[in-house]
Structures are given as C-alpha cells and as structure tokens.
C-alpha cells in the first residue's frame, strides 16, 4: 500500500517537474533564493567589463539548455546567475522572474557594464542578459548558445523591456 502511494506521488512530482522544465527560461524552478547584499562598484566599470569578457571567452558557444547551469547547457537566467556569482561575487536569484525584481531600474541610455537587460520574448516569456558596452550584451541565446548580441538588432530592439542595476 505504501509503495503504491509513493509511486503515485513520484509520478506526480515527475509530471510537475516536466511542466516547469518546458515552459521557459523565466519559469525554471528556483534553486537559490539567497540574494547577495553586495553592490556592484560602478566606479570600476573597466574591471567589470574585463571580467564579463573573460566569462564570454570561457563560455562562448556553450549550448542553451533550459534549466542548465554548466557548459554542457545553460539557460539565460542560469548564465546570469553563474556569471554574477563566479565573476562578480554576487549571488542573484536563479530565475528571470526573480532577477527582474532585483536591483534599481535604469534608463536604457544610462546602461553600464554589469547591468541586467530584460526582454519580453513572448506573451509570458522573458529573457535576460548582461550589458557590456556600446549597445552590446552577453547572454545565453536559445539558438546560438552563449553569445554577444546588439541591443539595436531588429529582434532584440523590438523585445527590449527594461534594465536593472544590481544594487540590493
């Protein structure tokens, strides 16, 4: 009797997990709810850019995988999560839906290296990247993997939503 109940619960958990896995980057299950109280030192933008370009060099072309957190596959919010933690020493939430609630709103014309840029890519889907410089941002693209794109690219320009500076 107990094993039957366990099996039903096991299948329920597997079914729910699959649903969350299939819905998109902004809906990945939260893996880390601790948010660092560290503030990016905006006086050292050159150092931030160096660290972000170093991260790109290490991760360039890593395939997109929903829910992934390593070079075998990573999603957009996972890439932001890993990059901030490993390169900037800042613990962000794991999902796009929580990352967008972090930090201070920044006008697009005031973007600096390290700011998060958010996009509405569908009715309920969101995408996140990290601003570099000269209208470029670093992100995990579903089609290209980890890459650098331009904000003024036709696709990204039409999907741009908002930007946040991490200052919690």
Can you give the pLDDT at residue 20? 37
Among residues 25, 34, 76, 134, the one annotated as catalytic is 76
Is 127 considered catalytic here? Answer: yes
Is 134 considered catalytic here? Answer: no
Fill in the DSSP letter of residue 115. Answer: -
Q: Average the pLDDT over each of 7-16, 22-31, 60-69 and give the range with the smallest value.
A: 22-31
Distance, C-alpha 107 to centroid of its chain? 19
Asked if 147 and 60 touch (Cβ cutoff 8 Å), the reply is yes
User: For residue 70, how many other CB atoms are within 10 A of its CB?
Assistant: 11
- The secondary element (H helix, E strand) that includes residue 19 is helix 2-22
Compute the distance between CA of residue 142 and CA of residue 139 in angstroms, rounded to an integer. 10
Q: Which residue segments constitute the domains of the chain, with CATH numbers given? A: 2-165 (3.90.1720.10)
Please give the structure tokens belonging to residue 105.
């709103």
Is 76 considered catalytic here? Answer: yes
Please write the tens of the pLDDT for every residue from 99-115: 999 999 999 999 999 99
Can you give the pLDDT at residue 63? 98
């Amino acid at each position: 009797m107990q094993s039957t109940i366990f099996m039903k619960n096991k299948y329920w958990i597997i079914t729910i997990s699959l649903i969350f896995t299939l819905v998109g980057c902004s809906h990945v299950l939260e893996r880390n709810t601790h948010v660092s109280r560290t503030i990016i030192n905006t006086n050292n933008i050159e150092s931030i850019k160096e660290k972000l370009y170093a991260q790109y060099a290490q991760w360039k072309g890593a395939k997109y995988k929903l829910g992934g957190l390593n070079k075998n596959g990573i999603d957009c919010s996972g890439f932001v999560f890993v990059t901030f933690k490993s390169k900037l020493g800042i613990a962000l939430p794991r999902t796009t839906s929580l990352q967008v609630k972090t930090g201070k709103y920044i006008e697009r014309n005031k973007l600096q290296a390290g700011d998060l840029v958010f996009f509405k890519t569908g009715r309920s889907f969101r995408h996140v990247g990290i601003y570099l410089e000269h209208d470029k941002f670093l992100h995990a693209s579903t089609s290209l993997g980890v890459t650098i794109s331009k904000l003024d690219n036709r696709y990204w320009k039409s999907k741009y939503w908002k930007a946040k500076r991490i200052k919690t």
